[in-house]
Amino acid sequence: MTLRIVFAGTPDFAVPSLRAAAQRNEVVAVYTQPDRPAGRGRELTPSPVKREALLRGIEVVQPENFRPVVSKDALRALKPDLMIVVAYGLILPQSVLDIPTYGCWNVHASLLPRWRGAAPIQRAIEAGDRESGVCLMQMEKGLDTGPVLLSQALEIGADEGGGQLHDRLAALGAQVLADGLGLLRAGVRPQPRPQPDVGVTYAHKLDKAEARLDWSQAAGVLANKVRAFNPWPMAEAIVAGERLRLHGAVALPERHDAVPGTLLRAGRDGLDVACGEGVLRIRVLQREGGKAISSADYLNGRPDLRGA
């Protein structure tokens, strides 16, 4: 059978899932966040999901929320078999979750119940997790508390950053969603598995202020932050009197007696900075108004640091 689907999503992460939903199904409408100011000119800019929907000729709906009765009536008029929600950015009330025949499915970028919430990809890396994955969840009123229909795990690379893991999980989410839709088209409803009460953690929304590194922390903690916050909000720190954005760094298990934040060495392999425990070697960085460069290129512009 062909499913009538309403898709709700906003950022790049949701685009592969929209493409998967549009295969062998009828996406009757796409809901996405209203256009927001972006760029230096602060011009109103459509979301990545909206751009994809328009390319496919799918009707786009952009309500501020679902509180008005007219918003719910408009959704009901679409007669959806299923609503798929991927990083939409709006809380859906129970009255909306009940409209589609099969309810609402959510593609979530973690192995629930670990990392419920807004930033599961970055929080997994920041915490030093070695594994992540995607869950296809039957939505209910709570925040990412619904039963899991399907899931797929993947290993987090030792040097993998937030942007790289984001792209891999976006593709995996589309694959898991396609599997679920295939079952539903065949008349088989995926079996919901309640989430366990043990192991619940929350992935709080990223804040730009937390990207400022505290050298009193352990080097391993800071290296994870550098990975997690790339490409946003980008870790930054004062190094040798200059504020830098850090794109790539590794932790060295080296003992020292230096004050945290002291530049211990500066060479082609990196800038080695003393931490509360261990040393952080900065390999790729960005100066104010510049682009990402290697530590070797940086030292070409800082002859005062050579041989430090």
Compute the Cα dihedral for 225, 226, 228, 232 and give only its sign.
positive
From residue 118, give the alpha-carbon distance in Å to each of 62, 88, 202, 204.
20, 10, 8, 6
Measured in whole angstroms, how far is the alpha carbon of residue 250 from the centre of its chain? 22
Per the annotation, where are the binding residues for (6S)-5,6,7,8-tetrahydrofolate? 110-113
**CB 61, CB 29: distance < 8 Å:** yes
Instruction: Give binding residues as ranges.
Output: 110-113
* Beta strands 131-138; 43-45: pairing state: unpaired
How far, in Å, CA of 292 to CA of 241, rounded?
18
Q: Both tokens of residue 156?
A: 């987090």
Mode of pairing for the β-strands spanning 116-117 and 202-203: parallel
